[in-house]
Amino acid sequence: MFQVNEICKNGESLSLKTDGHLRVVFIGTGSAFAKRRRQSNILIIQGDHHVLIDCGTQGPLALDDIGLDVLKVRCYLPTHSHADHIGGLEEVALMNRYTSTNERPEMIILRDYQDSLWGKSLAGGAEYCEAQQGRPLQLADFFNIQRPKNIEIQGRKCWSYRHGPIEIVIMRTRHFPDTAYSVDESQWCCGVFINRRVWISGDTMFDAEYPIRFSELSEVMFHDCQLFEGGVHASYQELITLPESIRKKMLLYHYGDNWDQPETWVKEADKYTGNPVEDGFLGWTDQQVAYDFF
Ligand SMILES: [Zn+2]
């Protein structure tokens, strides 16, 4: 069972510990270009362990909203290289290396994606920070790299990493380019399945087989959702075609700034209201609340 609980009452910082239960906090629930709800970056906390799934360009600000900063978050898992998911990682790397006496923060990342994240994104701002050292820096100079193991769930190839009491299953998604027919033709992107209870799609095009495959195992499914069709995300219009048994455990996130103005994106001929509860979903995902799983 899960409960939605208020956090940061009276302006206090979010604690990165729980009394043993699993806590999921979306520090943002918005799309890549959202101005109202940050971007979709997610803190997973259990016992005295935590991990931040993605740290986009607004990630450090979203942490500041709840009284945290990139020095307090000690473990990161980037899902893919769009800036709303990794744009804050340069700040994480440089702040930890040059402004604190912290150990390197941990990063959970597959070998194949590590080279791409570093070589195509982070190296530009970080590899020559110490010009006198005689060699360019590497991702491992900034982060303590942690490797997930190969596993299989329901016939789908996945990876698993155990972080204290938290098991993070990593699942590839079909996100971009929009012409990709399979995950193998796609650039690296993943979703996560936490403790085999809480499924978070990650950025993905509509791929019905993907939520359906994990639906029986999942207590709650957080699904990427855009408010128009086309492009590289699942749309509200596509998600509504999923069976009702799946929609009713599905909370939608990664939505545009006009999510609460259905008159701007629901057309008269549409057979849905734009209110996800009325349309058979569990609802919109809320920003800055705790989803507590007992
Ligand atoms: Zn993306």
- 39, 29 Cβ separation under 8 angstroms: no
- pLDDT of 264 > 90? The answer is yes
Q: How far apart are CA 109 and CA 201, in angstroms?
A: 17
pLDDT of residue 128 exceeding 90:
no
- Residue 265: predicted pLDDT: 97
pLDDT tens for 104-123 read: 999 999 998 999 999 999 99
Distance (Å) from CA 80 to ligand 1 centroid = 7
* Rounded Cα gap, residues 123 and 139, in angstroms: 8
Query: Measuring CA to CA, how many Å separate 118 from each of 4, 109, 115, 226?
Result: 36, 11, 5, 28
Domain-wise residue ranges, the chain: 2-293
The CA 103 to ligand 1 mean position distance, Å, reads 30
User: Distance from the CA of 19 to the center of ligand 1, in angstroms?
Assistant: 33
CA of 238 to the centre of ligand 1 (A): 18
Q: Which of 152, 150, 144, 7 is nearest to 67 (CA)?
A: 7
Q: How far, in Å, is the centroid of ligand 1 from the Cα of 82?
A: 5
d(CA 256, CA 248): 21
pLDDT mean over 85-93: 98
Distance of CA 130 from the midpoint of ligand 1 (Å): 31
Q: What are the tens digits of pLDDT across the range 133-172?
A: 778 999 999 999 999 999 999 888 999 999 999 999 999 9
Q: How far is the CA of 79 from the centre of ligand 1 (A)?
A: 9
Whole-number Å distance, alpha carbon 31 to ligand 1 midpoint, is 9
pLDDT category of residue 217 using cuts at 50, 70 and 90: very high
Q: What is the pLDDT of residues 221-239, one digit of tens each?
A: 999 999 999 899 999 999 9
List the beta bridge partners of residue 235: 226
CATH classification (class only), 2-293: alpha beta
Q: What length is written for the chain? A: 294
pLDDT, position 53: 98
Q: Average pLDDT in the 243-258 region? A: 97
Ligand 1: distance of its center to the CA of 12 in Å?
31
Phi, psi of 225 (to 5 degrees): -150, 125
Measured in Å, residue 126 CA sits from the centre of ligand 1 at 22
Q: Tell me what pLDDT residue 156 has.
A: 86
Report the alpha-carbon distance of residue 237 to residue 229 in Å, rounded: 7
pLDDT band, residue 95 (cuts 50/70/90) = very high
List, in order, residues 6 or more apart from 25 with CB less than 8 Å away: 7, 14, 42, 43, 45, 66, 288, 289, 290, 291
Note the pLDDT of residue 129: 87
Report, in angstroms and rounded to the nearest whole number, the Rg of the chain calculated over CA atoms. 19
* 205 three-class SS: coil
The pLDDT of residue 154: 83
Q: Each residue of 15-38: pLDDT tens digit? A: 999 999 999 999 999 999 999 999
pTM of the model: 0.97
Q: Is 113 helix (H, G, I), strand (E, B) or coil?
A: helix
Between 7-21, 163-177, 179-193, 252-266, the lowest mean confidence (pLDDT) is in 179-193
Q: If you ran DSSP here, which 8-state letter would residue 280 be given?
A: T
Instruction: Compute, in angstroms, the gap from residue 177 CA to the centroid of ligand 1.
Output: 10
CA distance 36 to 133: 43
Q: How far is the CA of 58 from the centre of ligand 1 (A)?
A: 14
Rounded distance, CA 242 to CA 192, Å? 20
